Each structure stands twice: as C-alpha cells, then as structure tokens.
A and B are shown apart, each in its own frame.
Chain A
Amino acid sequence: MADHLITVRVIDREGQAHTLEAPTDMGLNLMELCKSYDLPVKGTCGGMALCASCHMYVLSKHELPPPSDDEVAMLDSAFFVQTNSRLGCQIRLRDDLDGLEVQLAPESE
C-alpha cells in the first residue's frame, strides 16, 4: 500500500460489499471509518465500547490485537455474537490490516 492507505471490505446487513479506502496515520478505528462512508454503523457511545452498535464479524484471517476487558464485557452482553465478533470502535486501522474484511452484525435494540 502507498502512503499509509489501506483497503477494507465491509459487507453491510443486506449483503452488499463496500470497498473502503482508509488512512492508517489518522488514528481512525473501523467504526469511524464506516461512519465516514455513511454505512449504517451508529457508534452511539463514540467508541468507548459501551453500546455494541458497531458490532462486526471479522471474515478475513488478519491477526487483530486481542479485545480489551471492556470489549469482552460488552460483547458478553451483546446479541448475535459469534466467535469472530469484534467491536469496530476497538479496532484501530493499521498498515497490516490492508485487505481486512468484515461484516456488520445485525442491529439489536
């Protein structure tokens, strides 16, 4: 990738794939990236792992930093959770995540 730019593939809740270009030198996380592309990710709590509105499934084999206690706790009380569930707001975009593929989890109340 050139100039700290990576590509992330996001599959929305209708199954539509979106290819997003993401800078890695701005401290963006995956929730913020999706919001900036107007994908239906609410990010209600602003990225504090408090609401699970950015719940996603990681489809690609990228090695992600393990979830923090806060994220584990949040996922524990979220719904539609699978073994590949993560909160987008806790995934900081880095150069080694080029080609990352995620799917938005269903919305819950």
Chain B
Amino acid sequence: MGMNSKYIETDIIIIGAGPVGLFAVFEAGLLRMRCHLIDILPQPGGQLAEIYPKKPIYDIPGYPSVLAGDLVQNLLKQIAPFQPGFTLGERAETLERQADGRWRVITEQGTVHVAPAVFIAGGLGSFEPRKPPISNIADYEQGRGVAYYVRNPEDYRGKRVVIAGGGDSALDWTIYLANEAQSLTLVHRRSEFRGAPDSVEKVQQLASQGIIRLITNAQVVGLSGKGHLERLSIQHDTEGIFDVEADYFLPLFGLTPKLGPIAEWGVELQDGAIAVNTFDYSTNLPGVFAIGDINTYPGKLKLILCGFHEATLACQSAFKVVNPGKKLSFKYTTVTGIEGLPAKAPA
C-alpha cells in the first residue's frame, strides 16, 4: 500500500464523481444508504467540471439552460444532507470480492474501500495520455526512456531529451527543461504551435539561440536501444528519415478517454462499455451496477438525464444487497421531505 493508505467502509462505493455518480448519492440517501465516491480528477463533477464547466446544457428537465459547472454545484448541494465521502485525485485500480461477500476497491494510491455494493459511474473512463502509434513504444515505458508525464524534472538533468507535441504542455516542458537537459529537441508535426503565444515565442527564441533544437513538420516514428532508449527515428515531411540520439522521449499529446483498469475487473463488456440488465442496471457481478455513459444496453442514450434514471433504479436493487431481508417501501420526497444522514465518525 502507498503512503496515503486509508481504509473506508460504506454502503455503496461509487466509482466516478460525475453528475450521475453524484445523483446516485441522493437516491441512495433517500433509502438510508451511505455512499463514498472515487474519482481520478481532483474535483467532483467529471467531464462537466473538467472539460466544459462553462457550457450550457439544455436537456436537464426543469432547467431551460444550465451551465455544466452550475449543475455540478447544484448536485453537490442536493446530496450534502447525505454526507457522502470522497476519494479524489485517485484512480480506482482494482475491484475484488472479499470472503465476506463485500467488494473491495483499491486506488493506485492504496486507499482501500469496502462495501456490499458498487456503482461504476465512470463516464468515458479515465483520461489517460495519448500514446503515439510507435510499435515498440511499450518496451521503453516504465523508466526505460519514454514517459507521458514529467513527474520529476530532476530526472532529465544532464540527459538528452526529445519532446514531441505542439500544445502547451509540450511547449512549457521544453522551456522548463531547456536548461536542465544536456540537449533538448522539440519535434512537432506542423510548423505552427497552438500553445500560448508567449510560450511559442520563447521556444522560437531558445531555438534561434541554439539552446534547443526545433524540428517542425516532422514526427517521431521509431525508437531503439538495448534495454533503455538510445535513439529515435524522426521522419521529416521533406527531408526523409533521420536518427536523433536520446536518453528520454516525452510524447506530450494530451489526454484521451480510456476505459482503463475497469476492463480488467471481470465485468462483461460490449463495444468498450459495460453490459447491464435494464431492470436495475446490474452487471454480471452480483452487487456491482454500472450507470451513466459507461454502460450499454439496447437503446442506450448517453444522456445525463438517462443516467439519473439509471442511478435511481440501481439504488432500489442495491438496497436489497446492502440490507438483505429488509423491506423497501417507496416514498415521495414531497411527502416525506429530505432526512439527511448523520456525519460518519472517523474510522
């Protein structure tokens, strides 16, 4: 387990804190079930908060228009009485069934979550680095020369580094590492950069001063080296293929949504989504449900409002998993109001 290892017990573990995961807390709360959400992003809201907080959404019933960011804030307010827990900035890595029948979800940082029911509300999956299509690139990952993030800039001090990409992160790291690295080469497919104008100018300056080597209209097409990266093949639009010696290659092409570890959990998949039974959005694993954009079934529509419905029905079945033998009676909030859950004493 990692340094931050923590242990959390709850009724429902919700993987993904997007709008559908958040609303599931409300429906679960009405049935007196406690929830804990896990999300790889540092804040709740999923895509709505991360990608389009300022975009209006027009198909939330009762809201002619609502900004995505506002919808998230409203959902957080709506679920606040039910005191959900959050594990943010961590990716749910494994899902395993314990001997006692409950499910255990562990994040890559070692946080352990245990509950009788799990809702997978992972949306598009997790956003992961876009990897260039170089056949043997995996051979050089994991400390052998290729990295998709700069975790520790010190690693590159005195090394020969090649960065590829044309956006802000490629430009920013080029500028940052220019003085750390023994040599730095920036490779970009076009001659224009779409990063911040200041950064573009700075990079051009570094290139004209000879501090970095700038290769535009070119792409990295091959990697070689024994055990560790030693050389890259670069294909230039007009000058053909040539080699550049390098210790490290940093392809910085942004993030792309991937199903990620979920694909390894044993849930039945169909076309990259989790197959569910539309009776209660249950998966093939008992007590594990999939709601929102991550699931699929005949007639599936990837809409927030459909996800809300899915969350509501999944809670009805989850109640039976969480409270075996207990009777469930359906109540309208208008009749009963909202009775919150007490804050949970720290474990």
Contacts and interface: CB of A to CB of B under 8 A. Distances in A.
Contact of B189 (A46, A48, A81): A81
A42 B257 contact: no
A72 B257 contact: no
A50 B51 contact: yes
B296 to A, nearest CB: 12
Interface in B111-162: 124, 130-133
B6 interface: no
Q: Which of B133, B165, B253, B256 has the most CB of A within 10 A?
A: B256
Q: Is the interface of B mostly helix, strand, loop or mixed?
A: loop
A77 B131 contact: no
Contact of B124 (A44, A72, A79, A81): A44
B167 interface: yes
Contact of A77 (B253, B257, B302): B253
B272 A77 contact: no
Interface residues of B, number: 20
A42 B167 CA distance: 24
Given A51-B257, A52-B256, A76 B133 contact: no
Interface in B182-216: 189-190, 194
Interface string A24-42: 0000000000000000001
Given A79-B132, A109-B130, A73 B194 contact: yes
A29 to B, nearest CB: 15
B132 A44 contact: no
Contacts of A51: 124, 256-257
Contacts of A72: 194
Contacts of B293: 46
B346 to A, nearest CB: 38
B133 A79 contact: yes
Interface size class of A (residues with CB under 8 A): 10 to 19
B124 A45 contact: yes
A79 B302 CA distance: 26
A3 B322 CA distance: 55
B167 A50 contact: no
A84 to B, nearest CB: 14
A72 B201 CA distance: 20
Q: Which of B51, B166, B253 has the most CB of A within 10 A?
A: B253
Nearest to A74: B254
A109 B190 contact: no
Given A77-B165, A109-B131, A45 B52 contact: no
Interface in A66-85: 72-73, 76-81
Contacts of B132: 79, 108
11 contacts: A46-B293, A46-B302, A50-B51, A51-B256, A73-B167, A77-B167, A77-B254, A80-B133, A81-B189, A108-B133, A109-B130
Interface of A: 42, 44-46, 48, 50-52, 72-73, 76-81, 106, 108-109
Given A77-B167, A108-B132, 11 more contacts: A42-B272, A45-B124, A45-B257, A73-B167, A76-B166, A76-B194, A77-B166, A79-B133, A81-B189, A109-B131, A109-B133
Interface of B: 51-52, 124, 130-133, 165-167, 189-190, 194, 253-254, 256-257, 272, 293, 302
